[in-house]
Amino acid sequence: MLYSQVPVEDTLWFKQRLQAPYSIEDLLGVSVRDFFSYDTRPKLAIFLRSVLLGWIGATDDTPALAILNLLNNKEGELHPCAPDAYSLGMDKPISDALINPLTHHLQKQGVQFHLGYKAQAIYPNKARTRIEGVRLHTDSTVLADYYVFALPAHVTQSLLAETSPALSYDYVLSHGF
């Protein structure tokens, strides 16, 4: 029996691995690759790589601690030992579980959001390695350190690839950010 080409034994093992008790100390320095035994569970690795990279940008070398709260579908406050990581509960609407708490946290940190605008153009820096500005449909330009696009991942990826080859999915996958 397979789920997305992953043997049911590996699927069950994965679920048990997520639910097993672990301490922060146990996970410090442990990569996603090691935590999920990619070397001995290659079909699980193939499935998880695409899910984790596409969903949260995690690679094989991402610390396991950085993603476990996301995978465990918890609700809660900011993680005390990793204040930029958030425990998510997806048993309620995504706006209540993810978007509103994260927006509130970022606004408390001084982040400004430009909601309800359409991006007309993306301007890369001279090296074409970062986004320097975004022109909105109102013809105003937003300059920022980081940008968040509320678009499906494949649309965002295609926009970034057009802007700069260094921001394409294949380049990021092979080189990282």
| 104 and 126 assigned to the same domain | no
Q: CA–CA separation, 43 vs 1, rounded Å?
A: 13
Q: Residue 147 falls within a domain, yes or no?
A: yes
| 89 and 130 assigned to the same domain | no
Number of domains in the chain: 2
Domain finish residue from 108, 127, 153: 108
pLDDT in tens, 38-68: 999 999 999 888 888 877 778 888 888 878 7
In angstroms, what is the C-alpha Rg of the chain? Answer: 18
pLDDT in tens, 64-100: 887 876 676 544 444 455 444 444 435 566 677 667 8
| 68 and 131 assigned to the same domain | no
| 91 and 131 assigned to the same domain | no
Q: 9: exposed, middle or buried (C-beta count within 10 Å: 0-12, 13-18, 19+)? A: exposed
- For residues 122 and 168, the model is more confident at 122
Domain finish residue from 82, 108, 134: 108
| 50 and 26 assigned to the same domain | yes
Q: Residue 71 falls within a domain, yes or no?
A: yes
| 55 and 135 assigned to the same domain | no
Q: Residue 8 falls within a domain, yes or no?
A: yes
Q: 126 φ, ψ to 5°?
A: -60, -35
What pLDDT shows up at residue 167? 61
Contacts of 125 (CB under 8 A, 6+ apart): 131, 132
- Which domain covers residue 145, as residue numbers? 119-175
Q: Residue 82 falls within a domain, yes or no?
A: yes
The model carries a pTM of 0.44
Instruction: Choose among 94, 77, 95: nearest CA to 86.
Output: 77
